C-alpha cells in the first residue's frame, strides 16, 4: 500500500492481504513468534522439521508455522539453518511493524484497482476502517475469507479463488 501511494506508476494493481492503511497494534502472537525464532537460532537447527518442532511450542497451527519457517535459509557454511531476517532485527522492529506512514488520504491516493482481502477472524481490517480505505484506494473491492490474519497460509484455496 505504501509503494502504491508513494509511486503509483510502479503498481499496476494492488492486493493487500489483511492489512489496512492505519497504524495497527500487533497481536501478542508476534512476540511469541519472535521468541520461537530466537530459540531456533540459538539451537542452530539442521533441518526444517527440527525448527518446526521448536515452533510448535509457540504456535499450534501448522500453516502459520510453515509461513514463519519460510524465513529459514541455509547458513553460508551449509551446516545449519539460519533466519533470513535476523531475530534482533525483528525484535527491534516489532513496535513499528504495524505503523502506516500516511495519515491524510486528502494528500495521497492510489486510483488503481485494489482488492482488499480480509480475514474475518482477524482484527486488522475492521469495518470502521473501510471508509478510510476507500479514501486512500477509491477503486477498492473487499473480499472476506473465513480465516485469521494469516489468510494465505490458513486458507490458500479460498484465497486463490477469491483473488482470481
Whole-prediction pTM: 0.73
pLDDT grade for 29, boundaries at 50, 70 and 90: confident
Q: What is the pLDDT averaged over residues 130-137?
A: 97
Domains of the chain: 2-22+98-163 (3.40.50.1820), 29-96 (no CATH)
- 41-73, pLDDT tens digit by residue? 999 999 999 999 999 999 998 988 998 999 999
Instruction: Give the number of residues written for the chain.
Output: 164
Distance CA 17, CA 144 (A): 10
* Phi and psi torsions of 97, nearest 5°: -65, -30
Distance CA 91, CA 38 (A): 10
Residue 20 in contact with residue 133, Cβ under 8 Å?
yes
In 3D space, the residue among 40, 41, 44, 39 whose CA is nearest the CA of residue 78 turns out to be 44
Q: Cell digits for 141?
A: 473491492
Amino acid at each position: 500500500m505504501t509503494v502504491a501511494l508513494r509511486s503509483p506508476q510502479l503498481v499496476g494493481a494492488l492486493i493487500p492481504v489483511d492489512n489496512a492503511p492505519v497504524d495497527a497494534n500487533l497481536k501478542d502472537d508476534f512476540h511469541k513468534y519472535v521468541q520461537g525464532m530466537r530459540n531456533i537460532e540459538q539451537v542452530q537447527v539442521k533441518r526444517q522439521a527440527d525448527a518446526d518442532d521448536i515452533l510448535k511450542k509457540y504456535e499450534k497451527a501448522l500453516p502459520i508455522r510453515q509461513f514463519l519457517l519460510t524465513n529459514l535459509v541455509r547458513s553460508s557454511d551449509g551446516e545449519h539453518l539460519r533466519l533470513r531476517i535476523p531475530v534482533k532485527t525483528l525484535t527491534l522492529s516489532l513496535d513499528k511493524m504495524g505503523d502506516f506512514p500516511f495519515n491524510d488520504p486528502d494528500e495521497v491516493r492510489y486510483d488503481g484497482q485494489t482488492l482488499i482481502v480480509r480475514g474475518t477472524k482477524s482484527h486488522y481490517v475492521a469495518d470502521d476502517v473501510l471508509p478510510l480505505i476507500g479514501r486512500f484506494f477509491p477503486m477498492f473491492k473487499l473480499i472476506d475469507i473465513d480465516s485469521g490474519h494469516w489468510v494465505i497460509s490458513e486458507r490458500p484455496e479460498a484465497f486463490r479463488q477469491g483473488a482470481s
